[in-house]
Amino acid sequence: MPAQLPAFYRVLFLYLDPLMAGFGSIAMLLNPTFFLNAYNPRYTSPPAVETTLLLQSHIGFYASLAFLQVVLLRVRPNDVTVWRILQASTVLIDACQVAVFLYALETQGRLHPLLWRSDEISQIVGNGVLGLIRTAFAL
The one-letter code for the residue type at 17 is D
* C-alpha torsion angle, residues 36, 22, 127, 88 (rounded to 10): -130
22-40 pLDDT tens trace:
888 888 888 888 888 877 7
Looking only at Cα atoms, what is the longest distance across the chain?
50
Residue 2 pLDDT greater than 50, yes or no? no
* 3-state class (DSSP) for residue 72: helix
Give the confidence band of 15 by pLDDT, cuts at 50, 70, 90.
very high
pTM score, two decimals?
0.83
Q: What residues contact 128, with CB distance under 8 A and at least 6 apart? A: 94, 98
* Secondary element (H or E) of residue 61: helix 49-67
Enumerate the domain spans of the chain: 7-138
The predicted model gives 65-78 an average pLDDT of 92
